[in-house]
Amino acid sequence: MKQHYTIHRHCHHFNWDNALEPVHVITPGERLSFEVTDASAGQLTPASTTEDLGRVDFQRVNPVNGPVYIEGAMPGDTLEVEIESFGPQDWGWTAVTPGFGLLQAQFQDPYLKIWDLKADKAEFLPGIEIPIAPFPGTIGVALPEPGPHNIVPPRKNGGNMDIKHLTKGAKLYLPVWVEGALFSVGDTHAAQGDGEVCGTAIEAPMDVQLRFKLHKKKQIYEPQFTTPGPLNTGTEGKGYFATTGYGEDLLTATKKAISFMIEHLVGHYGLSDVEAYALCSVAVDLKQSAVVDMPHYLVSAYLPLAIFK
């Protein structure tokens, strides 16, 4: 096995583009470390304030480290990416940005929360602590179509999937669309609720170590993964409070479930509307409870009670 190699934070890009030159070449079986910057690409710092959100260049967000060329990878193969470990986290941020997020029509003023991540839990407000459970929000390979392609949405190549269960021990399977796969990773999160409803999780720079394996002539068409579980690390044991939302489409049902959860957090715990919205994004899990009676959908929002001291 070759000497361990690190993809440094300056080796990043902002779009999926199969014409990008790889920054490193590996053979299947090798490990790589990635120095991942935060989703703002360093535009926000631990000293940032809400006013700084207005100065963020949104053409330069969600950078990913890479691309990495995997020797022998060809279209029709599957790339296995094992998530082995994460480096220490120091700080992070969560933001509500006007014009972005599930409830963007309701929340039109900016909000920024800076987190101290030096312990195994991060304090949101006095008496509310979020367990640290890191994962990469954006991870994938190059698309077959000529680029550039916006890196923000999830796609058939992986991308900005924001799957919080891709944590240590998980194995992600990605379809290979181009020679060498051209793998990249970034957008590391210290914690997130399923749905990331305000548009951000606890966005945090950190290192991540990955190991790669190639499955020749095993074709899949969109990402698949295994995760060691449990699905809600650090929040089991005290139960959940859940709100539900009904709608004739999933978006309406989801908005209602989160809106009712915000009402609960404001009324029961004394949070402001925007604090409740941000807390939903980092701690509340959305679940599709009923899809069988189309066009009648039910979505549930689960609040882990363990986050309250």
Q: Is the domain of 209 the same as that of 267?
A: no
The residues, any chain, with a CB within 8 Å of residue 298's CB and separated by 6 or more, are: 244, 245, 246, 253, 288, 289, 290
Residues 175 and 272 in one domain: no
> DSSP per residue over the chain, as a string?
-PPPEEE-TTSEESEE-TTSPPSEEE-TT-EEEEEEPPTTTTSS-TT--GGGGGG--TTS-S-EEEEEEETT--TT-EEEEEEEEE----EEEEEE-TT-STTTTT--S-EEEEEE-SSSEEEEETTEEEE---EEEEEE---SS-S-EESSSEETTEES---TT--TT-EEEEE--STT--EEEEEEES---TT-TTS---B--EEEEEEEEEETT---SS-EEE--S-SSTTT-SS-EEEEEEEESSHHHHHHHHHHHHHHHHHHHH---HHHHHHHHHHHPEEEEEE-TTTT-EEEEEEEEGGGB-
Clarify whether residues 108 and 142 are in a common domain: yes
Residue 135 is assigned to a structural domain of this protein:
yes
252: confidence class by pLDDT, cuts 50, 70, 90: very high
Of all residues in the chain, the percent with pLDDT exceeding 70 is 99
Residue 234: inside a domain: no
Would strands 64-70 and 24-26 be described as parallel, antiparallel, or unpaired? parallel
Is the confidence at residue 15, as pLDDT, over 70? yes
The CATH number for 92's domain is: 2.60.120.580
pLDDT confidence tier of residue 3, bands split at 50, 70 and 90: low
Is the Cα dihedral 124, 130, 134, 137 positive or negative? negative
* Same domain (yes/no): 245, 153: no
Residues 183 and 45 in one domain: yes
| Predicted local confidence at residue 292, as pLDDT | 93
CATH number at residue 255: 3.10.28.20
User: What pLDDT shows up at residue 1?
Assistant: 44
Q: Is residue 231 assigned to a domain? A: no
Q: Give me the residues paired with residue 304 across strands.
A: 240
74-124 pLDDT, tens digit per residue, is 999 999 999 999 998 899 999 999 999 999 999 999 999 999 999 989 999
Residue 215 lies in a domain: yes
Specify the amino acid at residue 23.
V
pLDDT band at 235 (very low <50, low <70, confident <90, very high): confident
Answer yes or no: do 247 and 211 share one domain: no
Q: Name the burial class of residue 57, with classes exposed (0-12), middle (13-18) and buried (19+) by CB atoms within 10 angstroms of its CB.
A: exposed
pLDDT tens by residue, 110-160: 999 999 999 989 999 999 999 999 999 999 999 999 989 999 999 999 999
Beta bridge partners of 215: 78
151 and 73 together in one domain: yes
Instruction: Taking residues 275-303, report their average pLDDT.
Output: 96
Residues 6+ apart with CB under 8 A from 293: none
**Cα–Cα distance, 230 to 270 (Å, whole number):** 30
pLDDT tens figures, 197-233: 999 999 999 999 999 999 999 999 999 999 997 787 7
* Co-location of 219 and 264 in the same domain: no
pLDDT in tens, 32-51: 999 999 999 999 999 999 99
How many domains does the chain contain in total? 2
pLDDT band at residue 17 using 50, 70 and 90 as cut-offs? very high
DSSP β-ladder status, 12-13 and 297-304:
unpaired
Question: In this predicted structure, what is the pLDDT of residue 232?
Answer: 78
Last residue of a domain, one of 226, 251, 283: 226
Are 87 and 173 contained in the same domain? yes
- Looking at the domain assignment, is residue 274 inside a domain? yes
Q: Distance from first CA to last CA of the chain, Å, rounded? A: 47
Domain span at residue 194? 5-226
* Residue 116 and residue 261 in one domain: no
Q: Does residue 75 form part of some domain?
A: yes
Put residue 248 in one of left, alpha, beta given phi > 0 → left and psi -120 to 50 → alpha: alpha
pLDDT tens-digit series, residues 152-191: 999 999 999 999 999 999 999 999 999 999 999 999 999 9
- Which of 163, 196, 226 is where one domain is finished? 226
Domain boundary among 226, 249, 266: 226
Residue 233 resides in a domain: no
Neighbours of 88 (CB within 10 A): 10
Looking at the structure, tell me whether residues 152 and 27 fall in a common domain: yes
**Claim to verify: residue 48 and residue 105 sit in the same structural domain:** yes
